[in-house]
Structure 1
Amino acid sequence: MEEEKLKIPSNEEIIEEITRDLEGTCVKDEKQIIEDQDDKFYDVHDNLNEFDKHDDENLEYFDSVDEQKPELNHDNVDEEALKDRELNLSDDDKEKLRTEAEKLKNEGNNLFKLLNYDKAIETYTQGIQTCPLAFDNDRAILYANRAAAKSKCDKKTSAIDDCSKAIELNPKYLKAMLRRAQLYEQDDKLDEALADYQKVLEIDSSNWDALDATRRLPPKIQERNEKLKVEMMGKLKDLGNMILKPFGLSTNNFQMDQDPATGGYSVKFNQNNS
């Protein structure tokens, strides 16, 4: 018995025992390495997805910012800057600038005749930026001419603004007033157009275009107003029916009668209508 307890293992048994433990350790370590690598892969993958997510969000943000950027107005004239410029100008300097602006106006007119409207707009703008503020009539003509060029490029709103500026500088500027009236009419702003045509007649009662418009526009305005009235009444009726429906009623239960003498209305209730 003692001999069995004190039995010393052979070299082969020792090597086998060591090898078995080593093999188990290696297999375990290899599995752990693979698991660790997998974990790292998924961590990187998740991070990349998160990065892509934020990247997409950033791109959406910058796209939204770009959409919100106002369109640059290259026709804009900073009159405050012109005032500051002219503080130190002598009368001779202002006359020289006026002459230069006159040349730009003529150049713009030639471009207009050549149907180069975009370039004409640029040239008129240079003229407006060049002409001193003291010369209202010269600036009014430049604005009116630029409006004409803009109208050819279908920039009605901007052209109307230029006409308004020209009229502000010269309240009796018939050409600018007539052009604005025509632009208003093209833009279906009939009331504004009629008002301008009437102003033209106050200055020139023989103006054919204005005379024709003051006969032609009132029926159109009345027809448009009647259509709007019908549409409005239809919407009010729909709203009334929606409110009355829970009570088992409709607008058909109510009848409106107009008093010929006063023009006022009285409302009658009829239970039988549905």
Structure 2
Amino acid sequence: MAEKSSSLDDDETSCKQYVIPSNEEIINELTKDLHSSSIEAAEDTNSVRDKHDERKLEKEDINVGKFEEDITKVSAGDSDKSENEEDHVEVEDDFIDEEALKDFEITYSAEDKERLRKEADTLKSKGNEQFKAGNYRDSAQSYTLALRTCPLAFDKDRAVMYSNRAATKVKLGLKPSAIEDCSKAIELNPVYLKAYFRRAQLYEEVEKLDEALADYKKVLELDPLHREALYTSRRLAEQIQERNEKLKTEMLGKLKDLGNMILRPFGLSTNNFQVTQDPNSGGYSVNFQQTPR
């Protein structure tokens, strides 16, 4: 083998002399980076596995415990606020993310839902006690936490929580928001008399008389012997009629002023036109009089 190598070198005298590497040298040359590449590949594989495990653990944490963690994420700065701010409920503390609740509930078993319903009921009872003690802000927060805990499947339970929270908002002077909570309670339980009655009172207080009367009438549908709804609905009907008559008089006065302005250049006024109502049809007819009475 050495002779052949020597002969080959002799024939190619113009080329640089070299020695054919041995098999061992060839193998070493081919595999010199294999060890470091294997280490890097292993590290990459471990990194991917670690990330997968982290995501798996994170997903499990969300499915099992995230909702309970969200419940505890309540504003911790309430105690630092002044007494003048005590009657104010922040909008962000009030929000109920039903889409998130729906996503969470996909992972819950029947036992999980029942457990959460009981936890929500405990929070509701806490809110009731705080309300009785006059701690309206804390009471509203307890009802909010109850709503964030109670599964969406329990419509009537959630309706009570919304209605109770509306009562605390009334005490806090948040009437528009209280109306929204009453409406949500009615949406969840369309025969919830107390929510209709509470919303009727709120509508009346914010001078939405037609809406208030409609709710009082709904209360009477559910309970024809509800004395306060019966009395108030009659009073409101008369009040609404008086308001409408007043508005009609004001509107006709403005129309008369406008008509006189238009007719004045022609030497006429609205007094030249007599408006008569037909007692049978309720319609009106207009007659022109050259000489007004």
TM-score (norm 1): 0.70
Residue 82 of structure 1 corresponds to 101
Candidates 120, 131, 137, aligned match of 1:118:
137
Per-residue deviation, 1:153? 1.5
CA distance in structure 1 between the aligned counterparts of 2:129 and 2:182, rounded to whole angstroms: 20
Per-residue deviation, 1:214? 2.6
Per-residue deviation, 1:92? 1.3
Per-residue deviation, 1:127? 0.9
Residue 7 of structure 2 corresponds to none
CA distance in structure 2 between the aligned counterparts of 1:244 and 1:142, rounded to whole angstroms: 62
Per-residue deviation, 1:246? 3.7
| 1:242 alignment partner AA | M
Per-residue deviation, 1:175? 0.9
Candidates 167, 187, 190, aligned match of 1:148:
167
Residue 234 of structure 2 corresponds to 215
| 2:234 alignment partner AA | R
Per-residue deviation, 1:121? 1.2
| 2:225 alignment partner AA | S
1:158-237 matches, within 5 Å, as: 158-237=177-256
Gaps of 5+ in 2: 1-89
Q: Given the alignment of the two structures, is residue 254 of structure 1 paired with residue 273 of structure 2, yes or no? A: yes
Name the CA shift for 1:156/1:136 in 2 (closer, same or farther; >3 Å): same
Deviates more, 1:120-129 or 1:261-270: 261-270
| 1:131 alignment partner AA | C
Per-residue deviation, 1:226? 0.8
Q: Given the alignment of the two structures, is residue 268 of structure 1 paired with residue 290 of structure 2, yes or no? A: no
Gaps of 5+ in 1: 1-70
CA distance in structure 2 between the aligned counterparts of 1:99 and 1:72, rounded to whole angstroms: 26
CA distance in structure 1 between the aligned counterparts of 2:232 and 2:169, rounded to whole angstroms: 23
CA distance in structure 1 between the aligned counterparts of 2:187 and 2:121, rounded to whole angstroms: 20
CA distance in structure 2 between the aligned counterparts of 1:201 and 1:123, rounded to whole angstroms: 32
Q: Given the alignment of the two structures, is residue 95 of structure 1 paired with residue 95 of structure 2, yes or no? A: no
CA distance in structure 2 between the aligned counterparts of 1:109 and 1:270, rounded to whole angstroms: 71
Per-residue deviation, 1:273? 4.1
| 2:145 alignment partner AA | Q
CA distance in structure 2 between the aligned counterparts of 1:238 and 1:76, rounded to whole angstroms: 50
Per-residue deviation, 1:182? 1.1
1:13-24 matches, within 5 Å, as: none
| 2:152 alignment partner AA | L
Look up the SS of the partner of 1:101 in the other structure. helix
Structure 1 residues 181-232: Cα deviation after superposition (integer angstroms, max 9, x where no partner): 1111212222211211111121211111112123322211111111111111
Per-residue deviation, 1:165? 0.7
TM-score (norm 2): 0.65
Per-residue deviation, 1:261? 3.3
Sequence identity percentage? 64
| 2:191 alignment partner AA | K
1:35-114 matches, within 5 Å, as: 72-114=91-133
| 2:223 alignment partner AA | D
Per-residue deviation, 1:253? 2.2
Candidates 176, 185, 192, aligned match of 1:157:
176
Structure 1 residues 147-183: Cα deviation after superposition (integer angstroms, max 9, x where no partner): 0011112211111111111111111111111111111
Per-residue deviation, 1:262? 2.9
Per-residue deviation, 1:251? 1.9
Q: Calculate the aligned-residue CA RMSD, in Å.
A: 1.8
Look up the SS of the partner of 1:74 in the other structure. helix
CA distance in structure 2 between the aligned counterparts of 1:168 and 1:146, rounded to whole angstroms: 15
Per-residue deviation, 1:72? 4.3
| 1:146 alignment partner AA | R
